Amino acid sequence: MEIKTDEPAAEDARTEEAATAEAVTEDGTTRAAATEDASGADADADTDADAKSDAEAAGPSGVGQGAGAVVSVALGIVSLTGNWVGTVAAARETLVGQLRTSSTASVSQQIKEVYGDAWHTTALWAGLFALVALVTGAVVLVRPAFGAPGRPQAPWIKSVAWAGVALGVIGLLLAVLKYSDVLLGLPPAS
């Protein structure tokens, strides 16, 4: 049995390729050069697509971890400098203390009710912000162990997260000292 090949069709394709390579386009370049440019552009597009797929395959970019580290530092700073919620809560406690305290109450009782409770409320809110900063920074630091253990965390994320943890610890320590009246306690009434 004899297998027939379509030799004239193959010969026509080769002839057409040769004619295309020698033909000149309107801008003066040969069609072969234009074809190479087009195939080069396709290769560049393929390279870009491959790079994007490699980046997607590599895993997350760490944007969430970076944001968490920055939030941790911001909350640590807020715990040290004060916050709007703590200020409003302290003002409310001052008002409640004034309403509850009669004019015949002792001076120490008035100081405690009007100023002491407000001071403790401010310390409580500062401690709450410090605790959230501490937990957020710690979560960012341990996240790579649970997410993508083979992929290292960016050094700046670690640095900022450690700063958030440090600010959280300092803020929590100061809040406990203020709440327990060890640091800047109420003056004695005498």
Helix, strand, coil: what percent of the chain each, to 5? 75, 0, 25
List, in sequence order, every beta strand (DSSP E) within 14-169: none
pLDDT at residue number 55? 47
Is residue 75 packed enough to be buried (19+ CB in 10 Å), middle (13-18) or exposed (0-12)?
Answer: buried
More confident residue, 21 or 115: 115
CB 153 within 8 A of CB 61: no
Confidence band for 144, pLDDT divided at 50, 70 and 90: confident
pLDDT at residue number 73? 93
Q: Is the pLDDT of residue 176 over 80?
A: yes
pLDDT at residue number 115? 81
Cβ count near 156 (within 10 Å): 11
Rounded to whole angstroms, the Cα distance separating 176 from 189 reads: 23
- Residue in this structure with the two tokens 């390579």, named with its chain if needed: 21
Closest CA relative to residue 161, chosen from 145, 129, 189, 139: 139
* Region 38-51 average pLDDT: 55
Closest CA relative to residue 88, chosen from 122, 62, 114, 136: 122
Q: Is the pLDDT of residue 62 over 80?
A: no
Q: What value does the mean pLDDT of the chain take? A: 75
What percentage of the chain has pLDDT greater than the value 90?
Answer: 22
Q: Is the pLDDT of residue 136 over 70?
A: yes
pLDDT at residue number 188? 73
pLDDT at residue number 28? 55
- Residue in this structure with the two tokens 């803020």, named with its chain if needed: 171
